[in-house]
């Protein structure tokens, strides 16, 4: 349903919203952190709130204040929505909360009651059936007047008061992100799962693109927030004559892809600098067609936000073949060096490291060490001779699997895992990929993940949740597709590395066994052409007849001969590709290593030392067997508050949101959600009452799914009087 808010809104309410937007936005480089108007709690991505009405003394009294259920996942006429996920952190403007449903409907709620004010599905052009992607993690807002968001390959602008599209923005309210990348528009698969960031009258955007070829380049682009016109582009795969071009083959910019910003941005308004971390180049695991260090892949980059010109960069992984994307936006905090404050850029990594850099120069504020890398034995592959790691801070996740690390959960589990080691290489970071399986630890999902850390500006402590789950990396040799290959051969070459030879999926990639129940033939052929998100488009591999045949194979099991354009002489043909994305587990599906399998760590960024670390999450069935506090897989980040709390959901299997004492790590409160809170909470206040809201979407690696948002507050009458911070949030 679509409901207009205009009938409810008054001029006074809108004026209050705009006044709040002006009062609480990052002005002059100083954020007051009284509300949650931007993804990450503000342009600095601190995930910090100065509200302290809810604190370590009274947090046990928290109760459910309201619930909003989008209903998308329960609709019988929308079966594909069951495959969508809710990773979203809402934003709050005045007394309105803005969020997204699993079907990518944007909505506005009364932030104090959860009452729906309006909702809006993505606007479709004639003939379009859907532009919904899989998920988006956050919205953007401009001056409290416009809501900006992505769905599929479009960037949309809505009126914040009514939800109506802004007709003067792009083409009747939307901009096609496929345009301007130097590739044929119909062959570009692109979306944006994490929000961009607004600087003045610019909205700066990253992208989610395929991790195998063909893939779009990861250009960072700024658009005029009023008109939607492209203002500047920064080529993360440098073109001829640009800095870094010599770190790639001469013509790689014409065919290579990736090096994209899928995790989001941070912004220093005072300096006029935008910061981001990039992902790896495509293909993720075999780089014979991209010899060189591959700037600006796997890099922390600072750009002039007005022009897109590079100010500095720091490459975290050279010529990445381990999928070590930088998984979260950099955090802009201030630390002490020799007793003096230094503005820093703080970047977590999937490998469990933290890089702390000077904000003006990009130089590390902690010592670094060069790690020699063993040469690859794979044909054509040339790895960097060394990689760089920080000496401090100490890693927040274990770095190596050895005999002492392996599981002893049961005798059967221990025997199973040790038998698997006969065909598996174990060790530390940066083992060259090969056709023999190796354990990646931390795994492809971290270590650190997209939820990012929380930074406390009072204490300069960084709080980061982590996965400590090993995954398996193995390369399989692929053959060119000759003329006369059949659809099953094409599936094996192009689709099986992610979705499995048995079509049951692998890792976080969905199974395709029931595809006919959730996708029509025409929609699938379009998807095979353009791709979406991490899935590449196959326009460069397969003509329309071949795509039709592959769709018929996937939907109906018909295996017909097709002609293929993918020969061994094509730069898009890679002789080796990953064999899948399996977790390294015991015979019952539990991690192959000893607990903890998920953690929450407090790191002192003045010294680099850990203050505390606790397990995060449990497996309910193991608790019943007497094995508690194991930690578990977790996705979504923490927030830290002036009330002395670290609040985090994220855990997949026990589905709880928790509050810890930020000084000690003591668990103070927890609540079981209807589905896992695979998102980061937001903290805000309305009418002097502080709220904590979480999207309980679930669905990742199975488990219950939901479209619900839950908000928690102290009981009315029992809450403390609003302090100055609370009053500031409601002006």
Average pLDDT over residues 454-462: 98
Q: Tell me the pLDDT of the chain averaged across its residues.
A: 88
- Distance (Å, whole) CA 35 – CA 96: 11
Q: Which of 190-204, 240-254, 547-561, 600-614 has the lowest mean pLDDT?
A: 547-561
pLDDT single digits (tens) 23-42: 344 433 345 688 999 999 99
- Distance (Å, whole) CA 309 – CA 232: 9
Assigned token pair, 677 = 């809170």
Using only C-alpha atoms, the chain has a radius of gyration, in whole angstroms, of: 24
What domains are defined for the chain?
479-573 (1.10.760.10)
Q: Given a cut of 70, is residue 506 above it in pLDDT?
A: no
Assigned token pair, 346 = 């703080």
CB-based burial, 123-162: b 16+ in 10 Å, e otherwise: beeeeeeebbbbbbbbbbbbebbbbbbbbbbbbbbbbbbb
- Asked if 436 contacts 422 with a C-beta cutoff of 8 angstroms, the reply is no
CB-based burial, 182-212: b 16+ in 10 Å, e otherwise: ebeeebbbbbbbbbbbbbeebbbbbbbbbbb
CB-based burial, 233-251: b 16+ in 10 Å, e otherwise: ebbbbbeeeeebbebbbee
pLDDT score of 5: 32
Q: Which of 128-142, 196-210, 428-442, 695-709 has the lowest mean pLDDT?
A: 128-142
Average pLDDT over residues 689-715: 92
Average pLDDT over residues 64-68: 98
Instruction: Calculate helix-pair angle for 521-530, 544-556, nearest 10 degrees.
Output: 130
- Distance (Å, whole) CA 366 – CA 355: 8
Q: Given a cut of 60, is residue 414 above it in pLDDT?
A: yes
DSSP class per residue in 301-352: EEEETTT--EEEEEESSSS--S-----SPPEEEEEEETTEEEEEEEEE-TTS
pLDDT score of 6: 34
- Say what the pTM is: 0.88
- Distance (Å, whole) CA 119 – CA 505: 33
């Amino acid at each position: 349903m679509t409901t207009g808010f205009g009938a409810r809104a008054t001029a006074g309410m809108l004026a209050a919203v705009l006044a709040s937007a002006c009062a609480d936005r990052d002005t002059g480089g100083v954020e007051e952190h009284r509300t949650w108007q931007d993804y990450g709690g503000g342009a600095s991505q601190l995930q910090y709130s100065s509200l302290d009405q809810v604190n370590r003394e009274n947090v046990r009294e928290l109760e459910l204040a309201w619930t909003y259920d989008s209903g998308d996942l329960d609709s019988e006429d929308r079966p594909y929505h069951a495959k969508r996920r809710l990773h979203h952190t809402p934003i709050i403007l005045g007394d309105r909360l803005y969020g997204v449903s699993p079907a990518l409907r944007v909505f506005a709620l009364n932030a104090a009651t959860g009452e729906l004010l309006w909702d809006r599905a993505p606007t479709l052009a004639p003939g379009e059936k859907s532009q919904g992607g899989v998920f988006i993690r956050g919205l953007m807002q401009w001056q409290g007047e416009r809501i900006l968001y992505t769905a599929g390959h479009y960037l949309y602008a809505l009126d914040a008061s009514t939800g109506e599209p802004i007709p003067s923005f792009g083409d009747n309210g939307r901009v096609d992100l496929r345009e301007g990348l130097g590739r044929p528009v119909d062959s570009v698969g692109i979306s944006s799962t994490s929000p961009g960031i607004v600087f003045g009258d610019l909205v700066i955007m990253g992208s989610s693109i395929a991790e195998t070829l063909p893939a779009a380049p990861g250009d960072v682009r700024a658009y005029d927030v009023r008109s939607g016109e492209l203002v500047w582009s920064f080529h993360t795969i440098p073109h001829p004559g640009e800095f870094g071009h010599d770190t790639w083959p001469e013509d790689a910019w014409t065919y290579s892809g990736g090096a994209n910003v899928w995790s989001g941005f941070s912004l220093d308004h005072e300096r006029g600098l935008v910061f981001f971390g990039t992902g790896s180049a495509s293909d993720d695991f075999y780089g014979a067609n991209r010899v060189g260090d591959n700037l600006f892949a796997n890099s922390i980059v600072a750009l002039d936000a007005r022009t897109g010109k590079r100010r500095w960069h720091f490459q975290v992984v050279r010529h990445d073949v381990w999928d070590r994307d930088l998984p979260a936006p950099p955090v802009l905090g201030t630390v002490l060096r020799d007793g003096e404050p230094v503005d820093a850029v703080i970047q977590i990594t999937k490998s469990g490291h933290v890089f702390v850099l000077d904000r003006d120069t990009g130089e590390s504020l902690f010592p670094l060490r060069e790690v020699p890398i063993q040469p690859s034995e794979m044909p054509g592959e040339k790895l960097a001779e060394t990689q760089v790691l920080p000496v401090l801070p100490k890693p927040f996740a274990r770095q190596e699997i050895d005999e002492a690390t392996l599981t002893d959960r049961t005798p059967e589990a221990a025997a199973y895992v040790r038998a698997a080691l006969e065909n598996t290489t174990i060790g530390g970071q940066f083992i060259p990929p090969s056709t023999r399986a190796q354990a990646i630890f931390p795994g492809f999902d971290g270590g650190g993940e997209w939820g990012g850390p929380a930074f406390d500006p009072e204490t300069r402590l960084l709080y980061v949740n982590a996965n400590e789950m090993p995954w398996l990396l193995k390369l399989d040799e692929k053959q060119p597709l000759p003329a006369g290959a059949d659809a099953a051969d094409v599936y094996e070459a192009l689709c099986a590395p992610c979705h499995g030879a048995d079509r049951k999926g692998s890792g976080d990639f969905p199974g395709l066994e029931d595809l006919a129940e959730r996708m029509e033939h025409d929609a699938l052929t379009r998807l095979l052409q353009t791709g979406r998100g991490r899935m590449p488009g196959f326009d460069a591999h397969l003509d329309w007849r071949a795509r039709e045949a592959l769709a018929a194979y996937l939907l109906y099991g018909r295996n017909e001969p097709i002609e293929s354009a993918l020969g061994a002489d094509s730069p898009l043909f890679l002789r080796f590709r990953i064999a899948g994305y399996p977790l390294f587990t015991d015979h019952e599906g539990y991690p192959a290593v000893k607990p903890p399998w998920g953690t929450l760590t407090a790191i002192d960024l003045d010294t680099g030392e850990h203050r505390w670390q606790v397990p995060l999450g449990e497996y309910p069935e193991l608790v019943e067997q007497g094995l508690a506090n194991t930690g578990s897989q977790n996705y979504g980040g923490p927030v830290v508050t002036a009330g002395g709390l670290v609040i985090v959901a994220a855990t997949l299997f026990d589905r709880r949101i928790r509050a810890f004492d930020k000084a000690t790590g003591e668990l103070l409160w927890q609540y079981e959600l209807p589905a896992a809170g695979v998102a980061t909470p937001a903290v805000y206040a309305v009418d002097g009452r502080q709220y904590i809201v979480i999207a309980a979407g679930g669905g990742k690696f199975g488990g219950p799914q939901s479209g619900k948002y839950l908000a928690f507050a102290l009981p009315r009458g029992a809450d403390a009087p609003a302090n100055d911070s609370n009053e500031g949030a409601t002006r």
